[in-house]
Amino acid sequence: MVNEGYLRKEKGSGTYVNEIPKPQTETNINSENKTIGVITTYISDYIFPTIIRGIEKELREVGYSLLLASTNNDYEQEKECLERMIEFGVDGLIVEPTKSNQYNPNLATYVTLREHKIPIVMINATYEVLNTSFICVDDVETGYIATKELIEHHHKKILLITKIDDLQGKYRMKGFIKACEAYDVQISADSIITYTTETTESVYEEIIKQLKKQPDITGIVCYNDMVANTLISKLLTLGYRIPEDFSIVGNDDSTLSQMGGINLTTTEHPKENMGIAAAQWIVKTIENGVSEENILYTPKIIRRTSVKDLEDKK
């Protein structure tokens, strides 16, 4: 997209959508060439291109322009993205927060944006201390149904792998604990492995050590499909079988869930529909002058072949 002129990269700042002149129609004349800033943690990886496609599709339909930037889940890059949006004079912001489960040094900038009546809606997570409008999946329920899927297939020793610097990871862990308590599945100090943006690559070594240390583990709930897909690849390389040796549940129903020879049981994420809803939210708020309601999607389990029913052994 950069080579074709749709995007441009600015070193140390991010990736931006080039403004493409639009034919004058009644719709985009009424929009007064308004521009919506979109800040996501990543642009080209995982589920983010699909979310962005939904945003762009809807904004294009109503004649709004889009200015896109990514933070790589880094506070300093988020600050630069926000300053870029302010400098450009965007009319509204769609933001996926950076490290949403930690204190963010950029919170004052968000407060300033709100004081200047620039509407903001956050996707996938939010900064709890700001009480900002959001469009998210119910991640407590996500963690709950992913864990429940293993429990209902008679797994009693379950390991959770979750990302702890993002709010989604905290909520999914809450759902994991909720399901274990509801079904009397024992949790120990070794039942949860956490990682952060910076320790993503090294967490797999820790997981393998834990699995060898606790040979009675039969089920694993992963933070997302990316973690599940990478873990499955490493386990297969070590000679383990999925789901015969380990049953694994991912999250987000990404394209990765059906790659690599293992069809991954996972949970639903609205992706493109979330992007469309975010674009509709921000446009309606700008045009009506009143914030729209928050949106909380209820996930469902998507069953494939990575979970084995242990009762089948009998």
Grade residue 23 by pLDDT with cuts at 50, 70 and 90: very low
List beta partners, residue 123.
Answer: 135
At 97 the pLDDT is 97
Nearest CA-CA partner of 274 in 263, 266, 282: 282
CB 266 within 8 A of CB 249: yes
Residue 170 structure tokens: 């905290």
pLDDT digits (tens, 9 = 90+) for 78-96: 999 999 999 999 999 999 9
pLDDT in tens, 143-190: 999 999 999 999 999 999 999 999 999 999 999 999 999 999 999 999
Q: Is the per-residue pLDDT at 30 higher than 60? A: no
Q: Is the pLDDT of residue 16 over 80?
A: no
Q: How confident is the model at residue 27 (pLDDT cuts 50, 70, 90)?
A: very low
Residue 193 has φ and ψ, to the nearest 5°, of: -115, 125
Q: What is the pLDDT of residue 2?
A: 61
Confidence check: pLDDT of 142 > 90: yes
Q: What is the pLDDT of residue 197?
A: 96
Tens of pLDDT, residue by residue over 83-130, are 999 999 999 999 999 999 999 999 999 999 988 899 999 999 999 999
Q: Is pLDDT of 28 > 90?
A: no
Digit-coded pLDDT (tens) for 62-78: 999 999 999 999 999 99
pLDDT grade for 261, boundaries at 50, 70 and 90: confident
Cα(195)–Cα(201) distance, integer angstroms: 9
Cα gap 156→219, rounded to integer Å = 8
Give me the pLDDT at residue 122, please. 98
pLDDT interval class at 53 (50, 70, 90): very high
Q: Are 151 and 186 in contact (CB under 8 A)?
A: no
Where residue 233 falls among pLDDT bands split at 50, 70, 90?
very high
Confidence grade of residue 246 (pLDDT, cut at 50, 70, 90): very high
Residue 97: phi and psi, rounded to 5, are: -65, 150
pLDDT tens string 265-304: 999 999 999 999 999 999 999 999 999 999 999 999 999 9
Looking at the chain, the whole-number percentage of residues with pLDDT higher than 90 is 84
The predicted model gives 253-258 an average pLDDT of 95
Residue 73 identity = N
CA 68 to the chain's CA centroid: 17
What pLDDT is stored for residue 39 in this prediction? Answer: 97
- pLDDT of 212 > 50? The answer is yes
